[in-house]
């Protein structure tokens, strides 16, 4: 099968129209402004392209007082077609007014709702044809006159025969006619004159008839040429019709393959004329429904409002748009409640009546059901928010206006109904929290992530309160953040409880540290004496006691660090140092204490960072210590330090049993420990929490990658010097 020829673009079509011999123009508006006129039309008007864009009256002033301008206005207003044949028109050509005769048509071109968008003006100059037709009519009249003269001559001949008989009689009765001889001679002279005149008239008529015959012959030749041109046009029209048929077939194929459901109903009986695949899928039918009445094909539709709507569209010619309309469709014998967006578009036939309706349908059942589910979820969420005394807000990032519930307003010490905007929230924060909160919000907007922060605010009455906030941005279709949604809770009492607990832990840890220090000193003295006495049992026991004292001292130090951290007493003292050198120092220390593991440091070029060297050393030590603690003996521990973008990234990998996915997200929370750890591994879930806090205070990031039975890799990143 040969490929379909490419369709012409609109500019090419206009160029073709401009080259056709038939005079064609497009007019817009009631004053018939000239939108387009080809060369044939401009020749008829005796104008050039300067008339394009002018009204017909401005372009051809001589038409004023003639009926054509009013015809255009009527066609535009009423959307009809006016045509005429052999119509005279006075036009000014080369400054001279002349009468021409035209066959013409003014046709209104309508849009989908029946409104006139332009007038197609076609005209044919038939002046020559008209004048020739008049000449033919005059020649025909001359022929008829000639025929009458011939009849007169026959009558005259008959009279002559009768006269000859009368002369014979006169000769026979010469004497009787003698008296009338003179009158007969006079009559004969008059008769001769009449014959002569008639003969001359017949000669002139013959000359005119000959000239008319020559004109008719020339007209016939022109008519033959016109017939040949018409035959050529007919061939072109046949080719165009063939292309249109191909285009129609292609259009039908496109409809069948369209991603939306399409169908055409014909007549008031709503006969299914053409339903595409998508429509048949919605109906759960096959092509057997085509040619059937809608209610016969889908009986369940009869008691639903769609038949009445379709009849209204047929009666009024007004399209109908349905949005999320419910319809009951039977599928496999079961009635299903489904929702659709649809259009019933009237189709105007040649008689300017609505003969068919185009139906375009999109199923939105999933969207409607999802919205209902979202509404139910929102209802449950609102119940949970009210039950939990949570404040909720939605901030317009462009205007700074907020929508919030009463609990949110109460958390900031506002009275019911009192105005509250986004800037007021930051104004209520204590100054030391504002920049950090703004930074967290900016990161959440950029990364499409949830931010969590705790900060203190000051109420209008001067009292201080703690707020715990979670928020996330909402984005438009272009990915631009437009709103920030937040959930807040007041944690003032929780913070007070934590402070009391931290104070207690700090006090207890501090009180325990002094006796532990003394005990450590005594144990070391006893251990030294046992070694001098070569008491191996005492030396071993004292070594174990010393190790336990170190563990206890480490735990107490951890509790003290947590207490200092949460009370704000831990200070970050930044300085420039080589991170790789620090890691190598830590690795060297662990080679002595963790000699049952192989620790490899993949060295890189020096990486200089600006950070607290002791605090970062603590993080590296914790990572290596955990790798030793949670991986089997004689396994490999790998450390790396690399530059990635604007950050230095440190990673410590082990070959342990790995961490479950549900635990990885909580590893850096305070006091969190994985449940399935061996009982021989002690800890309080403080180490990684302290690491996370230290890295956060350096504006870095900490995370873990782990796979069960294959091991874990802990990472942290620090920003490089600018």
CATH code, domain with 350 = 3.30.450.20
Cα 682 to Cα 547: distance, rounded to the nearest angstrom: 13
592 and 691 belong to one structural domain: yes
pLDDT at 15: 67
Residues belonging to the chain: 722
Q: How many distinct structural domains can be found in the chain?
A: 6
Q: Report pLDDT for 119.
A: 93
The continuous run of DSSP H or E covering 365 comes out as helix 365-387
Kindly state the tokens that stand for 76. 């535009």
* Proportion of the chain in helix, strand, coil states, percent, rounded to 5: 50, 25, 25
Residue 351: inside a domain: yes
- Check residue 687 and give its pLDDT: 78
Q: What CATH number should be reported for the domain holding residue 562?
A: 1.10.287
Residue where a domain stops, chosen among 90, 125, 160: 125
Query: What are the b/e assignments for 361-400, b being 16+ CB within 10 Å?
Result: bebbbeebeeeeeeeeeeeeeeeebeeeebbbbebebeee
Q: Do 20 and 39 meet the contact criterion of CB atoms below 8 Å apart? A: no
**Beta-carbon neighbour count of residue 637 at 10 Å?**
23
Same domain, 598 and 561: no
* Spatial contact of 716 and 583, defined as CB atoms under 8 Å apart: no
**Tokens standing for residue 693:** 């806090």
Residue that is last in its domain, among 566, 584, 615: 566
Other CB atoms within 10 A of residue 178 CB: 10
Q: What is the pTM of this model?
A: 0.35
Nearest to 641 by CA among 651, 633, 632, 631: 651
Q: What is the pLDDT of residue 680?
A: 47
Q: Domain for residue 4, yes or no? A: no
Examine the fold and report which residue of 566, 594, 628 is the final residue of a domain before the chain moves on: 566
3-state secondary structure 241-254: HHHHHHHHHHHHHH
Q: Which two tokens stand for residue 581?
A: 């050198």
E strands in 464-583? 464-475, 481-490, 575-578
For residues 622 and 701, state if they share a domain. yes
Quick one: 469 and 515 in the same domain?
no
Comparing CA positions, the residue from 381, 386, 419, 383 lying closest to residue 400 is: 419
Q: Which of 625, 476, 646 is nearest to 554 (CA)?
A: 625
718 with 647: CB under 8 angstroms?
yes
Distance, in Å, from the CA atom of 697 to the CA atom of 692, rounded to the nearest integer, reads: 9
For residue 614, the model assigns a pLDDT of 85
Q: Are residues 589 and 715 in the same domain?
A: yes
Q: Flag whether 380 is in a domain.
A: no
Considering the domain architecture, whether residues 473 and 502 belong to the same structural domain is answered as no
Whether residue 600 lies inside any domain: the answer is: yes
pLDDT at res. 251: 59
The verdict on residue 504 lying in a domain is: yes
Q: Residue 539: what pLDDT?
A: 76
pLDDT of residue 679: 47
C-beta of residue 280 within 8 angstroms of C-beta of residue 289: yes
Q: Give the burial class of 273: count Cβ atoms within 10 A of its Cβ; 0-12 exposed, 13-18 middle, 19 or more buried.
A: middle
- End-to-end Cα, the chain, rounded Å: 68
CATH number of the structural domain spanning residue 592: 3.30.565.10
Shared domain check, 701 and 598? yes
* 63 lies in the same domain as 164: no
Whether 376 maps to a domain, the answer reads: no
Instruction: Say yes or no: 603 and 681 in one domain.
Output: yes
Q: From CA 466, how far away is CA 458, in angstroms rounded?
A: 9
Q: Is 244 within a domain?
A: yes
Angle between the N-to-C axes of helices 687-697 and 613-630, in degrees from 0 to 180, rounded to the nearest 10: 150
What is the model's pLDDT at position 490? 85
The verdict on 238 and 287 lying in the same domain is no
- Which residues, in sequence order, are CB contacts of 500 under 8 Å at separation 6+? none
The confidence score (pLDDT) of residue 424 equals 84
Task: Give the separation between CA 585 and CA 472, rounded to whole angstroms.
Answer: 42
Instruction: Give Cα separations from 315 to 31, 103, 318, 361, 625 (angstroms).
Output: 32, 36, 8, 21, 85
pLDDT at residue 8, as a whole number: 60
Q: Is position 588 within any domain?
A: yes
Q: What stretches of 80-221 adopt beta strand conformation (E)?
A: 81-93, 96-110, 116-125
| pLDDT mean by block of 10 residues, the chain; 722 residues | 56 67 90 91 90 92 91 92 92 89 92 91 90 86 80 77 70 64 73 78 77 78 77 77 69 70 90 88 89 90 91 92 91 90 89 88 89 76 68 86 84 82 86 89 88 89 90 89 88 72 55 64 76 81 71 62 56 87 88 80 86 89 88 91 92 91 81 62 68 88 91 93 61
One domain, residues 607 and 701? yes
Two tokens at 54?
Answer: 């002018």
Contact 216, 136 (CB under 8 A): yes
Q: Find, among 19, 53, 22, the residue nearest to 35 by Cα.
A: 53
Query: Which residue range forms the structural domain that includes residue 428?
Result: 388-490
* CA triple 631-634-636, angle to 5 deg: 65
Shared domain for 579 and 690, answered yes or no, is yes
């Amino acid at each position: 099968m040969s490929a379909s020829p490419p369709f012409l673009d609109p500019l090419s079509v206009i160029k073709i129209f401009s080259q056709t011999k038939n005079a064609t123009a497009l007019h817009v508006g009631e004053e018939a402004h000239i939108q387009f006129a080809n060369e044939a039309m401009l020749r008829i008007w005796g104008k050039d392209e300067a008339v394009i864009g002018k009204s017909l009256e401005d372009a051809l002033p001589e038409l004023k007082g003639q009926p054509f301008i009013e015809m255009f206005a009527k066609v535009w207003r009423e959307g009809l077609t006016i045509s005429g044949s052999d119509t005279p028109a006075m036009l000014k050509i080369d400054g001279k007014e002349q009468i021409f005769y035209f066959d013409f048509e003014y046709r209104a071109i309508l849009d989908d709702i029946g409104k006139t968008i332009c007038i197609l003006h076609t005209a044919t100059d038939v002046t020559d044809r008209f004048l020739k037709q008049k000449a033919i009519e005059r020649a025909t009249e001359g022929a008829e006159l000639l025929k009458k003269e011939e009849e007169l001559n026959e009558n005259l001949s008959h009279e002559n025969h009768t006269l000859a008989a009368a002369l014979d009689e006169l000769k026979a009765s010469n004497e009787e006619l003698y008296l009338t001889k003179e009158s007969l001679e006079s009559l004969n002279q008059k008769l001769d004159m009449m014959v002569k005149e008639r003969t001359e008239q017949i000669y002139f008529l013959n000359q005119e008839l000959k000239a008319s015959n020559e004109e008719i012959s020339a007209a016939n030749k022109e008519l033959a040429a016109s017939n040949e041109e018409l035959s050529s046009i007919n061939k072109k029209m046949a080719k165009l019709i063939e292309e249109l048929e191909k285009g129609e077939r292609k259009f039908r194929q496109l409809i069948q393959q369209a991603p939306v459901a399409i169908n055409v109903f014909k007549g008031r009986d709503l006969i299914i004329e053409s339903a595409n695949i998508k429509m048949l899928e919605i109906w759960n039918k096959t092509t057997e429904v085509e040619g059937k009445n809608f209610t016969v094909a889908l009986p369940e539709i009869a008691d639903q409002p769609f038949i009445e709507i379709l009849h209204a569209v047929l009666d009024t010619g007004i399209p109908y748009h349905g949005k999320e309309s419910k319809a009951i469709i039977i599928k496999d014998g079961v009635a299903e409640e489904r929702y659709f967006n649809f259009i019933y578009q009237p189709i105007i036939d040649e008689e300017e009546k609505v003969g068919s309706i185009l139906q375009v349908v999109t199923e939105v059942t999933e969207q409607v059901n999802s919205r209902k589910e979202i509404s139910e979820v929102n209802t449950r969420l609102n119940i949970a928010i009210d039950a939990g005394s949570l404040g909720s807000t939605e901030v317009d990032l462009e205007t700074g206006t907020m929508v919030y519930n009463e609990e949110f307003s109460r958390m900031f010490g506002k009275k019911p109904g009192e105005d509250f905007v986004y800037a007021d929230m930051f104004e209520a924060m204590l100054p030391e929290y504002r920049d950090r909160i703004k930074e967290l919000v900016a990161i959440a907007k950029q990364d499409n992530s949830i931010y969590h922060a705790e900060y203190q605010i000051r109420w209008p009455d001067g009292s201080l309160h703690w707020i715990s906030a979670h928020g996330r941005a909402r984005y438009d279709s272009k990915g631009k953040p437009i709103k920030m949604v937040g959930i807040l809770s007041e944690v003032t009492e929780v913070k007070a409880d934590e402070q009391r607990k931290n104070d207690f832990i700090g006090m207890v840890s501090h009180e325990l540290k002094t006796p532990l220090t003394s005990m450590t000193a005594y144990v070391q003295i006893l251990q030294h004496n046992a070694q001098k006495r070569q008491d191996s049992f005492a030396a071993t026991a004292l070594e174990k006691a010393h190790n336990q004292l170190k563990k206890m001292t480490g735990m107490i130090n951890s509790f003290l660090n947590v207490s200092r951290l949460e009370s704000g007493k831990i200070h970050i003292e930044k300085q420039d140092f080589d991170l790789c050198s620090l890691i190598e120092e830590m690795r060297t220390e662990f080679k002595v204490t963790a000699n049952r593991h192989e620790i490899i440091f993949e060295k890189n070029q020096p990486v200089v960072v600006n950070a607290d060297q002791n605090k970062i050393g603590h993080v590296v030590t914790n990572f290596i210590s955990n790798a030793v603690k949670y991986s089997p003996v004689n396994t490999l521990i790998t450390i790396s330090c690399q530059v990635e973008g604007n950050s230095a990234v440190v990673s410590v990998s082990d070959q342990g049993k790995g961490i479950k996915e549900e635990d990885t997200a909580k590893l850096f929370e305070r006091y969190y420990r994985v449940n399935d750890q061996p009982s021989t591994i002690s800890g309080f879930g403080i180490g990684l929490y302290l690491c996370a806090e230290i890295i956060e205070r350096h504006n870095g990031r900490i995370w873990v990658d782990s796979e069960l039975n294959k091991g874990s890799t802990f990472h942290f990143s620090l920003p490089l010097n600018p």
